[in-house]
């Protein structure tokens, strides 16, 4: 399916942050999928130029995504007002190989990382600033309170949390409005639906799904593990393990058939399924190619019937979590210790 004009807009959170119905995730510039041999600056400029014409206005990155912020900063030069820029703090890269990353939601770390993100992005404010993971040692009330200081100072416009448990969202919202919660959600990953989704909706928090295409699998272009280079990080994702690959690939037959029925690509059907879950959802698929950006944006115009949605709802896969990452405290469904009560006078 193609498109002839800009995509519809949606609003994130009770503060009504207006963005295109499909956003853009810039983690691709961290080269986690083993890319090489391309001009990152040229790719980013082309992507953002086309995104602006398509109405893809939410651009999402993070301080931990390698050179992504700097690349986006150069591409945004002269076009900053065309986009809603989101970035994140809170994951400290390990100092050496085979050491897990550390989650840090402290005030000093947040402030240091924000200043670096502002410099790299070439801007004086972040539109949507996320805690990338929830610090298991710091009460969420403290982390969000420190983030709220940035709003008061004008350096940040809206606050978000990534991979937060339902109770964490509730506690955070008592301190400051939370505009969005970012979490993995797709036809291949459904854990948000039990608790986080209903809680977010109760609190007026929008959902920004990352990896809405199942790390590219839902585009139905990966037909063999051999399609993944040895340096491709997806080889460590259980979706793609030798144990689960064939069984998970079988679920794509349903996606392909429905795509043929509606005249769309499989990836567009996967994104349309998410968009049909509610107007409070803005997925952020990533790519380095304009034509894939265009395909992703066109998903906003794909209509699925109730029967097709119900059939897609039945898809279940094996090996849904990242290998090893689930063992890191708070990598998913982050919780925090309670805040100490204020001392009585």
Mention every residue, 6+ apart, whose C-beta is less than 8 A from residue 10.
18, 19, 20, 21, 206, 279, 280, 281, 282
Q: Across-strand partners of 209?
A: 183
Residue 277 exposed, middle or buried by CB count within 10 Å (0-12, 13-18, 19+): middle
* Extended strands (E) in 205-313: 206-210
Using CA atoms, how far apart are residues 77 and 190, in angstroms rounded to an integer? 37
Q: Residue 239 catalytic?
A: no
Mention every residue, 6+ apart, whose C-beta is less than 8 A from residue 195.
165, 166
∠ CA 103-107-113, nearest 5°, is 70
Pull the structure tokens for residue 132: 């990338």
Using CA atoms, how far apart are residues 344 and 328, in angstroms rounded to an integer? 36
* Packing angle, helices 140-152 and 166-173, rounded to 10: 40
Tokens 């080269």 locate to: 31
Q: Across-strand partners of 276?
A: none
Pull the structure tokens for residue 163: 């991979």
Tokens 């699998």 locate to: 217
∠ CA 223-216-188, nearest 5°, is 95
Burial 41-62 (b: 16+ CB within 10 A, else e): eebbbbbbebbeebbbbbbbbb
The answer to whether the beta carbons of residues 176 and 191 sit under 8 Å apart is: no
Select which of 24, 65, 129, 130 is catalytic.
65
Catalytic residues: 65
């Amino acid at each position: 399916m193609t498109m002839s004009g800009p995509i519809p807009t949606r609003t994130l959170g009770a503060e009504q942050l207006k963005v295109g119905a499909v956003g853009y995730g810039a983690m691709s510039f961290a080269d986690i999928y083993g890319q090489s041999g391309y001009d990152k600056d040229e790719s980013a400029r082309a992507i953002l130029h086309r995104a602006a014409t398509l109405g893809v206005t939410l651009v999402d990155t993070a301080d931990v995504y390698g050179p992504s912020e700097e690349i986006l900063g150069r591409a945004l030069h002269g076009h900053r007002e065309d986009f809603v820029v989101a970035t994140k703090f809170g994951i400290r890269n390990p100092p050496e190989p085979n050491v897990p990353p550390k989650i840090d939601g402290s005030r000093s770390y947040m402030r240091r990382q924000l200043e670096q993100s502002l410099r790299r992005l070439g801007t004086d404010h972040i539109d949507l600033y996320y805690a990338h993971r929830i610090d298991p040692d710091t009460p969420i009330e403290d982390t969000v309170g420190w983030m709220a200081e940035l709003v008061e100072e004008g350096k940040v416009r809206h606050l978000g949390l990534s991979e937060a448990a339902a109770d964490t969202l509730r506690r955070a919202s008592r301190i400051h409005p939370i505009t969005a919660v970012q979490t993995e959600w797709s036809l291949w990953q459904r854990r948000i639906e039990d608790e986080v989704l209903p809680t977010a909706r109760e609190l007026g928090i929008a959902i920004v799904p990352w990896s809405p295409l199942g790390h590219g699998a839902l585009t139905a272009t990966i037909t063999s593990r051999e399609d993944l280079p040895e340096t491709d990080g997806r080889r460590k994702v259980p979706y793609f393990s030798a144990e689960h690959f064939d069984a998970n690939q079988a679920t794509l037959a349903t996606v392909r058939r429905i795509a043929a029925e509606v005249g769309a690509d499989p990836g567009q059907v996967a994104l349309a399924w998410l968009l049909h879950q509610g107007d409070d959802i803005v997925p952020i698929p990533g790519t380095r190619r304009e034509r894939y950006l265009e395909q992703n944006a066109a998903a906003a115009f794909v209509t699925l019937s109730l029967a097709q949605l119900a059939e897609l709802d039945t898809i279940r896969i094996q090996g849904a979590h990242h290998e090893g990452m689930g063992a890191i405290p708070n990598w998913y469904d982050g919780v925090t210790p309670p805040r100490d009560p204020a001392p009585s006078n």
